[in-house]
Copies of this chain bind each other. A is one copy, B any other.
Amino acid sequence: MFEAAELGRSVSKEDYEAKVPKLRAGLLEAQFRLRSSKLPVIIIVTGADGAGKGDVVHRLNEWLDPRGIDTQAFWLTSDEESERPPYWRFWRVLPARGRIGVFFGSWYTRPIVRRLAGKLKNRELDAELDRIAGFERMLAEDGAVIIKLWLHLSVEEQARRFRDVEKNPEKHWRILPTDWHSPKLHSRFREISERAVRHTDSAVAPWQVVEAGDDRYRDLTVGQIVLSALRAALKQKVMHGPKVTAKRTPRAAGVSVLDRVDLSQALAEDDYARKLEKYQTKLNRLTWAAYEKRRSMVLVFEGWDAAGKGSSIRRVTEAIDPRLFRIFPVASPTDEERAHHYLWRFWRHLPRAGMIRIYDRSWYGRVLVERIEGYAREDEWKRAYHEINDFEEQLVEDGMVLGKFWLHISKEEQLRRFKQREEVSFKRYKITPDDWRNRAKWDQYSAAVNEMVRRTSTKSAPWTLVAGNDKKFARIQILKTICKSLEEAL
Protein backbone atom coordinates (compact mmCIF):
# COMPACT_ATOMS: atom_id res chain seq x y z
CA MET A 1 0.00 0.00 0.00
CA PHE A 2 2.57 2.51 1.14
CA GLU A 3 5.11 1.28 -1.38
CA ALA A 4 2.65 2.07 -4.12
CA ALA A 5 2.66 5.75 -3.23
CA GLU A 6 4.60 7.67 -5.80
CA LEU A 7 7.64 9.11 -4.14
CA GLY A 8 9.66 12.15 -4.93
CA ARG A 9 6.76 14.15 -6.26
CA SER A 10 7.02 17.89 -5.85
CA VAL A 11 5.32 21.07 -6.95
CA SER A 12 7.12 24.29 -7.82
CA LYS A 13 6.25 27.54 -6.05
CA GLU A 14 4.87 29.04 -9.27
CA ASP A 15 2.75 26.04 -10.02
CA TYR A 16 1.46 26.01 -6.41
CA GLU A 17 0.57 29.67 -6.44
CA ALA A 18 -1.20 29.29 -9.73
CA LYS A 19 -3.31 26.37 -8.55
CA VAL A 20 -4.25 27.39 -5.03
CA PRO A 21 -6.80 30.15 -5.76
CA LYS A 22 -8.92 27.89 -7.93
CA LEU A 23 -8.68 25.07 -5.40
CA ARG A 24 -9.72 27.36 -2.56
CA ALA A 25 -12.66 28.70 -4.52
CA GLY A 26 -13.75 25.14 -5.23
CA LEU A 27 -13.39 24.09 -1.60
CA LEU A 28 -15.34 27.09 -0.33
CA GLU A 29 -18.07 26.51 -2.85
CA ALA A 30 -18.36 22.84 -1.92
CA GLN A 31 -18.39 23.73 1.77
CA PHE A 32 -21.11 26.30 1.15
CA ARG A 33 -23.31 23.72 -0.56
CA LEU A 34 -22.47 21.22 2.15
CA ARG A 35 -24.02 23.47 4.78
CA SER A 36 -27.50 23.08 3.35
CA SER A 37 -27.00 19.39 2.64
CA LYS A 38 -27.45 16.87 5.39
CA LEU A 39 -23.95 15.47 5.09
CA PRO A 40 -21.53 15.43 8.00
CA VAL A 41 -17.90 15.23 6.86
CA ILE A 42 -15.08 13.54 8.73
CA ILE A 43 -11.52 14.15 7.61
CA ILE A 44 -8.98 12.00 9.40
CA VAL A 45 -5.46 13.37 9.17
CA THR A 46 -2.90 10.81 10.16
CA GLY A 47 0.33 9.24 8.95
CA ALA A 48 4.05 9.10 9.58
CA ASP A 49 5.71 11.21 12.27
CA GLY A 50 7.30 14.24 10.74
CA ALA A 51 5.04 14.17 7.68
CA GLY A 52 3.33 17.41 8.71
CA LYS A 53 -0.06 16.29 10.03
CA GLY A 54 -0.39 19.50 12.02
CA ASP A 55 0.49 21.58 8.97
CA VAL A 56 -2.20 19.84 6.95
CA VAL A 57 -4.75 20.54 9.68
CA HIS A 58 -3.73 24.21 9.61
CA ARG A 59 -3.96 24.28 5.82
CA LEU A 60 -7.47 22.83 5.79
CA ASN A 61 -8.52 25.50 8.27
CA GLU A 62 -6.97 28.10 6.03
CA TRP A 63 -8.50 26.94 2.76
CA LEU A 64 -11.92 26.09 4.04
CA ASP A 65 -14.10 28.40 6.12
CA PRO A 66 -12.97 27.56 9.66
CA ARG A 67 -16.41 28.48 11.00
CA GLY A 68 -17.74 25.27 9.48
CA ILE A 69 -14.92 23.13 10.83
CA ASP A 70 -14.45 21.48 14.19
CA THR A 71 -10.87 20.39 14.64
CA GLN A 72 -10.63 17.56 17.13
CA ALA A 73 -7.38 16.37 18.62
CA PHE A 74 -7.70 13.08 20.45
CA TRP A 75 -4.88 13.42 22.77
CA LEU A 76 -5.41 13.73 26.50
CA THR A 77 -8.16 11.53 27.89
CA SER A 78 -10.37 13.00 30.60
CA ASP A 79 -11.78 10.85 33.37
CA GLU A 80 -15.24 11.41 31.94
CA GLU A 81 -13.92 9.74 28.80
CA SER A 82 -11.87 6.97 30.33
CA GLU A 83 -14.81 5.89 32.50
CA ARG A 84 -16.89 5.08 29.43
CA PRO A 85 -16.48 2.69 26.47
CA PRO A 86 -13.55 3.76 24.25
CA TYR A 87 -15.76 5.06 21.42
CA TRP A 88 -17.59 7.51 23.67
CA ARG A 89 -15.01 10.21 23.10
CA PHE A 90 -15.45 9.92 19.34
CA TRP A 91 -19.22 9.90 19.45
CA ARG A 92 -19.29 13.04 21.57
CA VAL A 93 -17.43 15.05 18.93
CA LEU A 94 -18.77 13.63 15.68
CA PRO A 95 -19.57 16.56 13.38
CA ALA A 96 -23.19 17.57 12.94
CA ARG A 97 -24.78 17.33 9.50
CA GLY A 98 -23.45 20.07 7.24
CA ARG A 99 -20.25 20.48 9.27
CA ILE A 100 -16.70 19.22 8.82
CA GLY A 101 -14.81 17.46 11.58
CA VAL A 102 -11.06 17.49 11.06
CA PHE A 103 -9.73 14.68 13.22
CA PHE A 104 -6.13 14.96 14.30
CA GLY A 105 -5.79 11.50 15.73
CA SER A 106 -8.77 9.16 15.56
CA TRP A 107 -10.11 5.72 16.41
CA TYR A 108 -7.04 4.30 14.68
CA THR A 109 -4.60 5.67 17.25
CA ARG A 110 -5.44 3.49 20.23
CA PRO A 111 -5.35 0.06 18.53
CA ILE A 112 -2.11 0.95 16.72
CA VAL A 113 -0.44 2.26 19.86
CA ARG A 114 -1.59 -0.75 21.88
CA ARG A 115 -0.31 -3.15 19.24
CA LEU A 116 2.96 -1.23 19.21
CA ALA A 117 3.21 -1.58 22.98
CA GLY A 118 2.55 -5.31 22.68
CA LYS A 119 -0.79 -5.07 24.48
CA LEU A 120 -2.62 -6.50 21.50
CA LYS A 121 -1.78 -9.48 19.35
CA ASN A 122 -2.28 -9.28 15.61
CA ARG A 123 -5.62 -11.04 15.69
CA GLU A 124 -6.81 -8.74 18.46
CA LEU A 125 -5.70 -5.80 16.39
CA ASP A 126 -7.68 -7.21 13.49
CA ALA A 127 -10.77 -7.48 15.69
CA GLU A 128 -10.36 -3.81 16.63
CA LEU A 129 -9.95 -2.95 12.96
CA ASP A 130 -13.13 -4.84 12.16
CA ARG A 131 -14.93 -2.73 14.71
CA ILE A 132 -13.53 0.40 13.09
CA ALA A 133 -14.66 -0.76 9.67
CA GLY A 134 -18.12 -1.40 11.05
CA PHE A 135 -18.21 1.98 12.75
CA GLU A 136 -17.21 3.80 9.58
CA ARG A 137 -19.70 1.86 7.52
CA MET A 138 -22.45 2.78 9.98
CA LEU A 139 -21.57 6.48 9.79
CA ALA A 140 -21.35 6.34 6.00
CA GLU A 141 -24.74 4.64 5.75
CA ASP A 142 -26.10 7.53 7.78
CA GLY A 143 -24.76 9.94 5.15
CA ALA A 144 -21.32 10.79 6.52
CA VAL A 145 -18.52 11.55 4.06
CA ILE A 146 -15.37 9.96 5.45
CA ILE A 147 -12.03 11.10 4.07
CA LYS A 148 -9.03 9.29 5.50
CA LEU A 149 -5.64 10.78 4.73
CA TRP A 150 -2.44 8.90 5.38
CA LEU A 151 0.59 11.17 5.03
CA HIS A 152 3.43 9.05 3.82
CA LEU A 153 7.17 9.65 4.07
CA SER A 154 9.88 7.42 2.69
CA VAL A 155 12.20 6.00 5.34
CA GLU A 156 15.05 8.13 3.99
CA GLU A 157 13.06 11.35 3.98
CA GLN A 158 11.82 10.72 7.48
CA ALA A 159 15.35 10.09 8.75
CA ARG A 160 16.52 13.27 7.03
CA ARG A 161 13.79 15.26 8.77
CA PHE A 162 14.64 13.85 12.17
CA ARG A 163 18.28 14.82 11.72
CA ASP A 164 17.23 18.30 10.69
CA VAL A 165 15.13 18.72 13.80
CA GLU A 166 17.96 17.59 16.00
CA LYS A 167 20.34 20.03 14.36
CA ASN A 168 18.01 23.01 14.14
CA PRO A 169 15.48 22.81 16.95
CA GLU A 170 14.68 26.53 16.66
CA LYS A 171 13.41 26.02 13.10
CA HIS A 172 10.88 23.49 14.24
CA TRP A 173 8.97 25.29 16.89
CA ARG A 174 5.78 23.66 15.78
CA ILE A 175 6.98 20.20 16.61
CA LEU A 176 6.24 18.62 19.93
CA PRO A 177 9.35 16.88 21.31
CA THR A 178 7.37 13.80 22.27
CA ASP A 179 6.44 13.26 18.62
CA TRP A 180 9.71 11.54 17.96
CA HIS A 181 10.29 7.88 18.51
CA SER A 182 13.30 5.66 18.03
CA PRO A 183 14.03 4.39 14.49
CA LYS A 184 13.25 0.86 15.60
CA LEU A 185 9.83 1.85 16.85
CA HIS A 186 9.32 3.70 13.62
CA SER A 187 9.75 0.70 11.45
CA ARG A 188 7.43 -1.29 13.72
CA PHE A 189 4.90 1.55 13.60
CA ARG A 190 5.04 1.56 9.82
CA GLU A 191 4.39 -2.15 9.68
CA ILE A 192 1.39 -2.03 12.01
CA SER A 193 -0.03 1.06 10.32
CA GLU A 194 0.15 -0.63 7.00
CA ARG A 195 -1.83 -3.53 8.37
CA ALA A 196 -4.42 -1.10 9.74
CA VAL A 197 -4.71 0.83 6.51
CA ARG A 198 -5.04 -2.31 4.43
CA HIS A 199 -7.64 -3.79 6.74
CA THR A 200 -9.88 -0.73 6.80
CA ASP A 201 -9.70 0.43 3.22
CA SER A 202 -13.30 0.22 2.11
CA ALA A 203 -15.51 1.61 -0.61
CA VAL A 204 -17.42 3.85 1.81
CA ALA A 205 -14.32 5.00 3.68
CA PRO A 206 -11.27 4.59 1.45
CA TRP A 207 -7.76 5.49 2.54
CA GLN A 208 -5.87 8.11 0.57
CA VAL A 209 -2.12 7.74 0.87
CA VAL A 210 -0.51 11.11 0.25
CA GLU A 211 3.18 11.43 -0.46
CA ALA A 212 4.35 14.04 2.07
CA GLY A 213 7.97 14.58 1.08
CA ASP A 214 7.22 17.95 -0.49
CA ASP A 215 4.99 20.34 1.47
CA ARG A 216 3.40 21.98 -1.55
CA TYR A 217 2.67 18.70 -3.29
CA ARG A 218 1.26 17.30 -0.05
CA ASP A 219 -1.07 20.23 0.60
CA LEU A 220 -2.29 20.52 -2.97
CA THR A 221 -2.97 16.80 -3.10
CA VAL A 222 -4.87 16.88 0.18
CA GLY A 223 -6.92 19.84 -1.03
CA GLN A 224 -7.78 18.07 -4.26
CA ILE A 225 -8.73 14.84 -2.51
CA VAL A 226 -11.03 16.70 -0.15
CA LEU A 227 -12.56 18.66 -3.00
CA SER A 228 -13.31 15.61 -5.12
CA ALA A 229 -14.72 13.71 -2.17
CA LEU A 230 -17.04 16.59 -1.27
CA ARG A 231 -18.15 17.07 -4.86
CA ALA A 232 -18.80 13.38 -5.35
CA ALA A 233 -20.86 13.21 -2.17
CA LEU A 234 -22.88 16.32 -3.02
CA LYS A 235 -23.56 15.03 -6.50
CA GLN A 236 -24.72 11.65 -5.27
CA LYS A 237 -26.94 13.41 -2.75
CA VAL A 238 -28.60 15.42 -5.48
CA MET A 239 -29.00 12.45 -7.81
CA HIS A 240 -30.61 10.12 -5.34
CA GLY A 241 -32.18 12.36 -2.76
CA PRO A 242 -33.47 10.67 0.38
CA LYS A 243 -34.61 7.15 -0.31
CA VAL A 244 -38.27 6.86 0.54
CA THR A 245 -39.52 3.34 0.76
CA ALA A 246 -43.04 2.15 1.18
CA LYS A 247 -43.88 1.20 4.74
CA ARG A 248 -44.04 -2.51 5.03
CA THR A 249 -46.48 -3.87 7.51
CA PRO A 250 -44.68 -6.36 9.69
CA ARG A 251 -46.09 -9.82 9.29
CA ALA A 252 -47.42 -11.49 12.37
CA ALA A 253 -45.48 -14.63 13.20
CA GLY A 254 -47.11 -17.90 14.21
CA VAL A 255 -46.58 -18.29 17.92
CA SER A 256 -44.41 -15.33 18.90
CA VAL A 257 -42.07 -14.77 21.83
CA LEU A 258 -44.61 -12.34 23.29
CA ASP A 259 -47.33 -14.99 23.11
CA ARG A 260 -45.26 -17.19 25.33
CA VAL A 261 -45.23 -14.68 28.21
CA ASP A 262 -47.53 -16.04 30.93
CA LEU A 263 -49.62 -12.98 31.74
CA SER A 264 -51.60 -14.76 34.44
CA GLN A 265 -48.72 -14.56 36.89
CA ALA A 266 -49.61 -12.44 39.90
CA LEU A 267 -48.55 -11.67 43.45
CA ALA A 268 -50.69 -11.26 46.57
CA GLU A 269 -50.40 -7.92 48.42
CA ASP A 270 -48.53 -9.21 51.48
CA ASP A 271 -46.21 -11.36 49.41
CA TYR A 272 -45.51 -8.29 47.26
CA ALA A 273 -44.79 -6.01 50.24
CA ARG A 274 -42.36 -8.52 51.68
CA LYS A 275 -40.54 -9.09 48.40
CA LEU A 276 -40.45 -5.41 47.55
CA GLU A 277 -38.72 -4.65 50.83
CA LYS A 278 -36.35 -7.57 50.33
CA TYR A 279 -35.26 -6.74 46.79
CA GLN A 280 -35.12 -2.99 47.27
CA THR A 281 -32.83 -3.46 50.26
CA LYS A 282 -30.72 -5.85 48.25
CA LEU A 283 -30.62 -3.54 45.25
CA ASN A 284 -29.50 -0.64 47.42
CA ARG A 285 -26.59 -2.67 48.77
CA LEU A 286 -25.67 -3.95 45.32
CA THR A 287 -25.68 -0.50 43.73
CA TRP A 288 -23.31 0.78 46.40
CA ALA A 289 -21.10 -2.26 45.90
CA ALA A 290 -21.11 -1.64 42.14
CA TYR A 291 -20.23 1.98 42.79
CA GLU A 292 -17.27 0.91 44.84
CA LYS A 293 -16.09 -1.47 42.15
CA ARG A 294 -16.72 1.21 39.51
CA ARG A 295 -19.09 -1.02 37.56
CA SER A 296 -21.75 0.98 35.72
CA MET A 297 -25.25 -0.15 34.91
CA VAL A 298 -27.54 0.71 32.01
CA LEU A 299 -31.22 -0.18 32.28
CA VAL A 300 -33.57 0.01 29.31
CA PHE A 301 -37.33 0.11 29.76
CA GLU A 302 -39.58 -0.47 26.80
CA GLY A 303 -43.17 -1.63 26.79
CA TRP A 304 -46.74 -1.03 25.75
CA ASP A 305 -48.34 2.28 26.68
CA ALA A 306 -49.77 1.95 30.19
CA ALA A 307 -47.76 -1.23 30.81
CA GLY A 308 -46.39 0.36 33.96
CA LYS A 309 -42.94 1.54 32.85
CA GLY A 310 -43.09 4.65 35.01
CA SER A 311 -44.17 2.96 38.20
CA SER A 312 -41.74 0.09 37.67
CA ILE A 313 -38.87 2.52 37.16
CA ARG A 314 -39.91 4.26 40.35
CA ARG A 315 -39.74 1.04 42.35
CA VAL A 316 -36.20 0.62 41.07
CA THR A 317 -35.05 4.20 41.63
CA GLU A 318 -36.50 4.60 45.10
CA ALA A 319 -34.11 1.90 46.20
CA ILE A 320 -31.10 3.73 44.82
CA ASP A 321 -29.33 6.75 46.23
CA PRO A 322 -30.18 9.73 44.00
CA ARG A 323 -26.48 10.42 43.62
CA LEU A 324 -25.98 7.14 41.80
CA PHE A 325 -28.59 7.17 39.07
CA ARG A 326 -30.10 9.38 36.43
CA ILE A 327 -33.12 8.79 34.24
CA PHE A 328 -33.03 9.70 30.57
CA PRO A 329 -36.60 10.00 29.33
CA VAL A 330 -36.58 9.60 25.58
CA ALA A 331 -38.75 12.22 23.90
CA SER A 332 -38.43 13.87 20.49
CA PRO A 333 -34.79 14.50 19.69
CA THR A 334 -33.48 18.07 19.91
CA ASP A 335 -32.10 19.64 16.75
CA GLU A 336 -28.55 18.92 17.92
CA GLU A 337 -29.54 15.29 18.27
CA ARG A 338 -31.30 15.22 14.92
CA ALA A 339 -28.09 16.51 13.33
CA HIS A 340 -26.31 13.28 14.27
CA HIS A 341 -26.64 9.53 13.89
CA TYR A 342 -29.65 8.29 15.89
CA LEU A 343 -27.40 6.48 18.38
CA TRP A 344 -25.57 9.72 19.21
CA ARG A 345 -28.06 10.88 21.83
CA PHE A 346 -27.82 7.57 23.66
CA TRP A 347 -24.03 7.47 23.63
CA ARG A 348 -24.18 11.02 24.93
CA HIS A 349 -25.89 9.94 28.15
CA LEU A 350 -23.89 6.86 29.08
CA PRO A 351 -23.07 6.74 32.80
CA ARG A 352 -19.65 7.27 34.31
CA ALA A 353 -17.89 4.51 36.25
CA GLY A 354 -20.02 3.13 39.06
CA MET A 355 -23.12 5.07 38.02
CA ILE A 356 -26.51 3.98 36.75
CA ARG A 357 -28.39 5.33 33.78
CA ILE A 358 -32.01 4.43 33.20
CA TYR A 359 -33.43 4.89 29.72
CA ASP A 360 -37.21 5.35 29.78
CA ARG A 361 -37.65 4.21 26.19
CA SER A 362 -34.43 3.92 24.25
CA TRP A 363 -32.54 3.29 21.02
CA TYR A 364 -35.10 0.56 20.35
CA GLY A 365 -37.45 3.34 19.21
CA ARG A 366 -35.65 2.93 15.89
CA VAL A 367 -37.11 -0.52 15.29
CA LEU A 368 -40.45 0.19 17.01
CA VAL A 369 -42.10 3.60 16.66
CA GLU A 370 -39.74 4.86 13.93
CA ARG A 371 -40.32 1.71 11.95
CA ILE A 372 -44.08 1.61 12.35
CA GLU A 373 -44.63 5.34 11.83
CA GLY A 374 -42.25 5.45 8.90
CA TYR A 375 -39.83 7.94 10.53
CA ALA A 376 -37.03 5.58 9.61
CA ARG A 377 -36.68 4.14 6.14
CA GLU A 378 -36.74 0.39 5.74
CA ASP A 379 -32.99 0.17 5.10
CA GLU A 380 -32.41 2.30 8.20
CA TRP A 381 -34.40 0.28 10.70
CA LYS A 382 -33.24 -2.98 9.17
CA ARG A 383 -29.60 -2.24 9.75
CA ALA A 384 -30.42 -0.90 13.21
CA TYR A 385 -30.57 -4.41 14.71
CA HIS A 386 -26.94 -4.92 13.90
CA GLU A 387 -25.96 -1.40 14.98
CA ILE A 388 -27.73 -1.85 18.29
CA ASN A 389 -26.15 -5.22 18.94
CA ASP A 390 -22.75 -3.72 18.29
CA PHE A 391 -23.48 -0.75 20.54
CA GLU A 392 -24.61 -2.97 23.40
CA GLU A 393 -21.65 -5.26 22.90
CA GLN A 394 -19.39 -2.27 23.48
CA LEU A 395 -21.18 -1.45 26.72
CA VAL A 396 -20.87 -5.00 27.99
CA GLU A 397 -17.25 -5.31 26.91
CA ASP A 398 -16.53 -2.16 28.88
CA GLY A 399 -17.87 -3.88 31.98
CA MET A 400 -21.29 -2.32 32.17
CA VAL A 401 -24.25 -4.30 33.49
CA LEU A 402 -27.02 -4.04 30.94
CA GLY A 403 -30.69 -4.79 31.63
CA LYS A 404 -33.36 -4.61 28.93
CA PHE A 405 -37.00 -4.92 29.93
CA TRP A 406 -40.02 -5.23 27.70
CA LEU A 407 -43.12 -4.64 29.83
CA HIS A 408 -45.79 -6.79 28.32
CA ILE A 409 -49.55 -6.59 28.95
CA SER A 410 -52.55 -7.91 27.07
CA LYS A 411 -54.56 -5.70 24.78
CA GLU A 412 -57.55 -5.98 27.11
CA GLU A 413 -55.51 -4.95 30.12
CA GLN A 414 -54.30 -1.89 28.24
CA LEU A 415 -57.87 -0.83 27.49
CA ARG A 416 -58.82 -1.21 31.15
CA ARG A 417 -55.89 1.00 32.19
CA PHE A 418 -56.54 3.68 29.58
CA LYS A 419 -60.11 4.01 30.85
CA GLN A 420 -58.95 4.10 34.44
CA ARG A 421 -56.46 6.82 33.67
CA GLU A 422 -59.14 8.99 32.19
CA GLU A 423 -61.08 8.72 35.41
CA VAL A 424 -58.40 9.45 38.02
CA SER A 425 -57.67 13.15 38.19
CA PHE A 426 -53.91 13.04 38.67
CA LYS A 427 -53.47 10.36 36.05
CA ARG A 428 -55.34 12.23 33.35
CA TYR A 429 -52.14 13.86 32.10
CA LYS A 430 -50.73 10.46 31.38
CA ILE A 431 -53.12 9.66 28.57
CA THR A 432 -52.96 11.35 25.18
CA PRO A 433 -54.52 10.85 21.74
CA ASP A 434 -51.17 9.31 20.72
CA ASP A 435 -51.80 6.46 23.11
CA TRP A 436 -55.07 5.63 21.38
CA ARG A 437 -53.46 5.89 17.96
CA ASN A 438 -50.69 3.51 18.96
CA ARG A 439 -53.25 1.10 20.35
CA ALA A 440 -54.94 0.90 16.97
CA LYS A 441 -51.66 -0.42 15.59
CA TRP A 442 -51.28 -3.12 18.24
CA ASP A 443 -50.71 -5.92 15.76
CA GLN A 444 -48.05 -4.05 13.83
CA TYR A 445 -46.25 -3.19 17.04
CA SER A 446 -46.58 -6.79 18.21
CA ALA A 447 -44.83 -8.06 15.16
CA ALA A 448 -42.11 -5.39 15.47
CA VAL A 449 -41.53 -6.24 19.12
CA ASN A 450 -41.25 -9.92 18.31
CA GLU A 451 -38.71 -9.24 15.62
CA MET A 452 -36.79 -6.89 17.90
CA VAL A 453 -36.61 -9.42 20.70
CA ARG A 454 -35.54 -12.16 18.33
CA ARG A 455 -32.82 -10.10 16.70
CA THR A 456 -31.40 -8.26 19.68
CA SER A 457 -31.57 -10.83 22.46
CA THR A 458 -27.89 -11.63 22.38
CA LYS A 459 -25.96 -13.70 24.84
CA SER A 460 -24.35 -10.67 26.42
CA ALA A 461 -27.50 -8.53 26.28
CA PRO A 462 -30.66 -10.61 26.58
CA TRP A 463 -34.17 -9.15 26.82
CA THR A 464 -36.30 -9.75 29.88
CA LEU A 465 -39.95 -10.03 28.94
CA VAL A 466 -41.93 -8.85 31.92
CA ALA A 467 -45.39 -10.26 32.65
CA GLY A 468 -47.09 -6.95 33.33
CA ASN A 469 -50.80 -7.65 33.71
CA ASP A 470 -50.19 -7.77 37.44
CA LYS A 471 -48.14 -4.69 38.31
CA LYS A 472 -46.89 -6.17 41.54
CA PHE A 473 -45.59 -9.28 39.83
CA ALA A 474 -43.92 -7.16 37.17
CA ARG A 475 -42.12 -4.92 39.63
CA ILE A 476 -40.72 -7.82 41.59
CA GLN A 477 -39.66 -9.60 38.40
CA ILE A 478 -37.73 -6.49 37.36
CA LEU A 479 -36.11 -5.88 40.74
CA LYS A 480 -35.13 -9.54 41.01
CA THR A 481 -33.62 -9.58 37.53
CA ILE A 482 -31.55 -6.46 38.18
CA CYS A 483 -30.29 -7.84 41.49
CA LYS A 484 -29.34 -11.10 39.82
CA SER A 485 -27.40 -9.35 37.05
CA LEU A 486 -25.55 -7.21 39.56
CA GLU A 487 -24.71 -10.20 41.74
CA GLU A 488 -23.32 -12.08 38.78
CA ALA A 489 -21.25 -9.11 37.73
CA LEU A 490 -19.74 -8.30 41.12
Contacts and interface: CB of A to CB of B under 8 A. Distances in A.
B426 A24 contact: yes
A170 to B, nearest CB: 8
A27 B428 CA distance: 12
Contact of A173 (B27, B73, B284): B284
Contacts of A317: 58, 61, 66
Contacts of A75: 323
Given A66-B327, A71-B327, 8 more contacts: A29-B429, A54-B322, A62-B314, A62-B318, A67-B360, A70-B326, A78-B80, A173-B284
12 contacts: A21-B426, A22-B425, A28-B429, A54-B322, A58-B318, A62-B318, A66-B314, A67-B310, A67-B360, A71-B322, A75-B323, A174-B284
Interface string A266-310: 000000000000000100110010000000000000000000001
Contact of A426 (B28, B78, B176): B28
- Residue from A29, A66, A428 whose CB has the most chain B CB atoms within 10 Å: A66
Given A71-B322, A323-B75, A335-B334, A425 B62 contact: no
A428 B32 CA distance: 11
B336 A334 contact: yes
A458 B457 CA distance: 61
A329 interface: yes
A321 B61 contact: no
- Copy count, this protein chain: 2
A465 B73 CA distance: 32
B28 A313 contact: no
Contacts of A69: 327
Interface in A1-36: 21-22, 24-25, 27-29, 31-32
Interface in A327-361: 327, 329, 331, 334-336, 352, 360
B314 A61 contact: yes
B61 A331 contact: no
A107 interface: no
A323 B21 contact: no
B80 A331 contact: no
Nearest to A329: B67
A380 interface: no
A370 interface: no
Contacts of A61: 314, 317
